[in-house]
Amino acid sequence: MKTAVRAAALPNLLADAPPTIRMLSLDCFDTLIWRNVNLPVDVFADLPFPGGGIEARTWGEIKARKSLPFINGRDEVTIEEIYGALMPDADDAARAAAIEAELAAEAHHCFAFAPTRDLIVDAKRRGLQVIIVSDTYLSEPQLRALIASAAGKPVADMIDRIFCSCEYGVSKAGGLFTHVLADLGISPSAILHVGDNHMADRIAPAKLGVNTVHLEQFDDVAEQRLRLEAVAATILDPAVRHKHPALQPHRAQISLRDECDAVETLGHDVLGPIMHSFALWLREEADAMAAATGRPVKLLFLLRDGHLPAQAFAAAFPDWADRIASVELSRFTATAASFTDAAAIERYLAPEIDTAQFATFAKQMLFNRDESTKLCRNASKRGFLKSVLEPSNVRKIVNRSGDFAKRLFAHLASHGVERGDAVMLVDLGYNGSVQNAVEAVLRQGMDLEVSGRYLLLRETFLSGLDKRGYMDTRNHDSKALHALSESIAIVEQLCTLAQGSVVDYKPDGSPVRSAAGVKGAQSENRDRAQRACLEFVRGVGTGLVKAPMSDDAECRRRMAGAALARLLFLPMESEVALLETFHHDVNLGTKDMVSFVDTAAATEGLRRRGIFYVKNAMRAYLPGELQRHGLPLNLSIFSTRRFGLDLRKADFDVGAMKLPVILIDQTSHAQIEIDAYPTSEGYYQAMIPVGEGQYSAGIQLGQHFEWVQVEEASFHYVDDYMKPKAAEGAIAAHPLFDAMEEVSAGLYRCQSEAGFMLIQPPISAPGRNLLLSIVFRPVVSRPALSNAIQKAA
């Protein structure tokens, strides 16, 4: 017989049990009775103690466990003794009321695990007795009542005996099974005990001859992911583990998953709970809109990103098949249909004209290639805007946009949208740009009642449209929403489908698509993740005898937010390895592709700029790129982004070493010392001012180092250096070395203390000051420097 099993094997466990077995013994918590929270102490968040129930209740138990063994000689304590230590000055009635509040909180969050219930049923069918052996501060009547509440009276009635550690004064690991065997008068070999704690439920009873099976509740990756989801929930919403538990209604299903492949687990354990919860909310929102409008609501999932949400909704609510549609409506096509007059054209151009992407603007406004070339040739920003708004061009844009809108209407009609319908546009978000562009056109051209519902909504301006997000300002502050939106492209790419973005429609509404830019392994992995997600959606409720009372709509929203935040900011190594192969197209009618995860670029950024690099780095998935550099970095990113912390470079600049530098111009030279600050992996960065390019710099590395590795030497304009794309404006420096031998690429042996690196300035723009960035790693320091460092330490 196996000595360890996963949860899915529990119902058939007895089929392989030794013939001597006459009794099934079960641990209670996390074997038969589970909690809808990450940690058992999360339940205490419901207790009404000042400052939060978790800490107060935990401190009370610690105090009781420290003092009572010396008073009564028992190692285990009862809940009454805990509250006696927690509330020493309260009267009996107050303590009794507090205990009842805790028991009610437990009942609110507890549920019975269906596979364990099925194991009990099979045991009874085989004529076995069933007992519970639990490490708990609850008494037998209290624990039996909790089991009856969570599992139902029929399950509780199948349990013949309950053994509670607090009633015997000893834990399972400390000898409780000795009392169990004595009370039952049964041979150890006649018992099969099953529990989730390796020491208490396997090692301790096995030493007495009891047959044992360890229930492996989660694989290591799932256990870590669930812990990090609780961490993410707490950072995202500080009320978690203060006023609310870290709720996790997906625990049972994750435990029952057999597949351990990284793609499958990402789809099942992460996308599944998010998409199912989103679908539940969409159903509620559609019902509310139908009640408000008096008309049935059609859900229009916007492809491409709406593909997986549409599939998840269909899986959750198959009876809604005739009221949902996946329509191909992109930012490009929505905007192309929106140019009804000169004001609409100006509203489109004015916020973006500063980017000077004239060719992209011209294509969006439906100019052909020759017209675009003429418009863009030698155009300034103001000149381009003026040309576009000439009456002849306005007429051209408006007429073409009107024709485009008719083709878009035909596309919607081909998916069952009729004039006068109430429709809900559904997308991942985060700004609702498609709705912003197309809603007025849909209302005017098809008399549609339009709303928009999004997984995440963080509007950059107050549109005044009927928009809501599953996560929006009703339940999160703007800083939290902004943080979640920064890497949302990861979720978009996991939710999309392998086809090009729609760029036009034929007269009958058939979509005209750009070529799909992403194929092969990325599409295959995405499809597998999506199938696993849908498997989760179809299996919701599996593992539960009945849902816990705390598993409501708000519980699911909190869980989905935590799962999303964890993926975006605290990714697992296996997830990063998968997403390293992913690319993303910007979906604006162009072929631009962006790599999600470039770990080499992230490592280079850390070496050359230090941790402050992450504050300004504009990356698609920075936490993914930095995951291999350790959790502290991503926790810093998460907290900084989520709370909008005002941190400056000076806050990170500590532990400087003095680097001797000679500045040389045409007439003189000066000896100075520059602070070189640690960056990452043992590297240091020195930033040397060289004016408007009039100074050459001699960096006297030989004074301090016998061996040194030079990572970078580059010039930067001072006023651009702290901007997000500063690295793109770097000017390569070309060092000359004296008394420094390059032994390997970038690795130098300083032949004497006179070894130095001379760098001449580039030709710079007048009036703009430059700085020279030198990034190096000391390999072998000269004894004088080593002694100075040790003395300073």
pLDDT tens-digit map of 94-116: 999 999 999 999 999 999 999 99
Residue type, 561: G
Separation of first and last alpha carbons in the chain: 59
Closest CA to 116 of 76, 166, 150: 150
In a domain, 549, yes or no: no
Alpha-carbon distance of 278 to 560, in angstroms, equals 8
HEC letters along 23-89: EEEECCECCCEEECECCHHHHHHHCCCCCCHHHHHHHHHHHHHHHHHHHHCCCCCCHHHHHHHHCCC
Instruction: Please check whether residues 783 and 717 belong to one and the same domain.
Output: yes
Contact 484, 471 (CB under 8 A): yes
Longest CA–CA separation in the chain, Å: 103
Cα→Cα distances 411→327, 399, 426, 542, Å: 8, 19, 17, 39
Percentage with pLDDT > 70 across the chain: 95
State how far the Cα of 699 lies from the Cα of 753, in Å rounded to an integer. Answer: 12
The CA distance from 700 to 327, in Å, is: 65
715 and 606 inside one domain: no
Same domain, 627 and 775: no
| Long-range pairs of 292-295 with CB within 8 A, sequence gap ≥ 24 | 293/422, 293/449, 295/421, 295/422, 295/449
Check residues 792 and 423 and name the one with the higher pLDDT: 423
Pairing, β 696-699 against β 657-664 = antiparallel
Domain count, the chain: 4
Whether residues 648 and 735 share a domain: the answer is no
Q: Please identify which residue in the block is written with the tokens 């993303």.
A: 584
Threshold 0.85, pTM exceeds: yes
Decide: 428 and 454 in contact? Cβ < 8 Å.
Answer: yes
pLDDT for 412: 97
H-helix or E-strand spanning residue 196: none
Is pLDDT above 70 for 4? yes
Q: In 3D, which of 416, 426, 450 has the Cα closest to residue 311?
A: 426
Alpha carbons 263 and 527: distance in angstroms, whole number: 9
For tokens 């907290």, the residue is 639
Q: Is the pLDDT of residue 787 over 60?
A: no
Give residue 588's pLDDT: 42
pLDDT at residue 365 above 90?
yes
For residue 729, the enclosing domain spans: 653-792
pLDDT band at 499 (very low <50, low <70, confident <90, very high): confident
Mean pLDDT, residues 282-307 taken together = 96
- Helices 391-414 and 433-446 cross at an angle (nearest 10°) of 80
Annotate 208-271 with DSSP letters as a single string: TT-EEEEEE-S-HHHHHHHHHHHHHHHHH-TTBTTTB--B-TTHHHHHH-----HHHHIIIIII
User: Which of these, 558, 560, 537, 577, lies nearest to 221 by C-alpha position?
Assistant: 577
Q: Per the domain annotation, does 254 fall within a domain?
A: no
Instruction: Answer whether residue 410 is part of any domain.
Output: yes
CA dist 48 and 555 (Å) reads 19
pLDDT at residue 592 in the model: 53
Q: Is the per-residue pLDDT at 589 higher than 50?
A: no
**Is residue 611 over pLDDT 90?**
no
Would you say residue 558 lies in a domain? Answer: no
647 lies in the same domain as 666: no
Residue 279 inside a domain? The answer is: no
**pLDDT greater at residue 32 or residue 652:** 32
74 plus 111 within the same structural domain: yes
My answer on whether 41 and 111 are in the same domain is yes
143-156 average pLDDT score: 97
Confidence of residue 190 (pLDDT cuts 50, 70, 90): very high
Asked if residue 475 has pLDDT above 90, the reply is yes
Buried residues in 160-180 as b, exposed as e (16+ CB within 10 A):
eebbbbbbbbbbbbbbbbebb
Q: Sign of the CA dihedral 595, 601, 606, 612?
A: negative
As beta bridge partners, residue 758 has 698, 736
Average pLDDT rounded to a whole number, residues 133-150:
98
Considering the domain architecture, whether residues 623 and 673 belong to the same structural domain is answered as no
Structural domain includes residue 177: yes
User: Of 217, 249, 270, which one is at a domain's C-terminal end?
Assistant: 217
More confident of the two residues 107 and 430: 107
Last residue of a domain, one of 484, 505, 526: 505
- Over range 60-75, report the average pLDDT: 87
Mean pLDDT of the chain: 92
Task: Report d(CA 598, CA 618) in Å as an integer.
Answer: 12
| 204 shares a domain with 111 | yes
For residues 449 and 473, membership in a common domain is answered with: yes
Candidates 135, 96, 82, 113; CA nearest to 543 is: 113
Beta pairing, strands 731-732 & 657-664: unpaired
226 occurs within a structural domain: no
Distance CA 575, CA 271 (A): 12
Say which residues have a Cβ less than 8 Å from residue 784's Cβ, sequence separation at least 6.
Answer: none
Q: Are residues 642 and 669 in the same domain?
A: no
CA distance 481 to 487: 11
Dihedral (C-alpha) 730, 734, 738, 744: value to the nearest 10 degrees? 80
- Domain annotation covers residue 519: no
Distance CA 318, CA 384 (A): 51
User: Distance between CA atoms of 172 and 165, rounded to whole angstroms?
Assistant: 7
Quote the pLDDT of residue 557. 97
Which of 626, 652, 678 is the C-terminal boundary of a domain?
652
Statement to judge: residues 206 and 307 lie in one domain: no
| Burial class of residue 691 in the structure, from the number of CB atoms within 10 Å of its CB (0-12 exposed, 13-18 middle, 19+ buried) | middle
pLDDT at residue 618, as a whole number: 65
pLDDT value, residue 724 = 61
Residue in the block written with tokens 């320091």: 781
pLDDT for 792: 47
Q: Using one digit for the tens of pLDDT, what is the confidence trace for 501-558?
A: 899 999 999 999 987 655 567 888 999 999 999 999 999 999 999 999 999 999 999 9
Please list, in sequence order, all residues whose beta carbon lies within 8 angstroms of the beta carbon of residue 57, skipping any fewer than 6 positions away. Answer: 41, 44, 47, 49, 82, 86, 102
C-alpha 293, offset from chain centre: 36
Q: Which two tokens stand for residue 554?
A: 């708000």
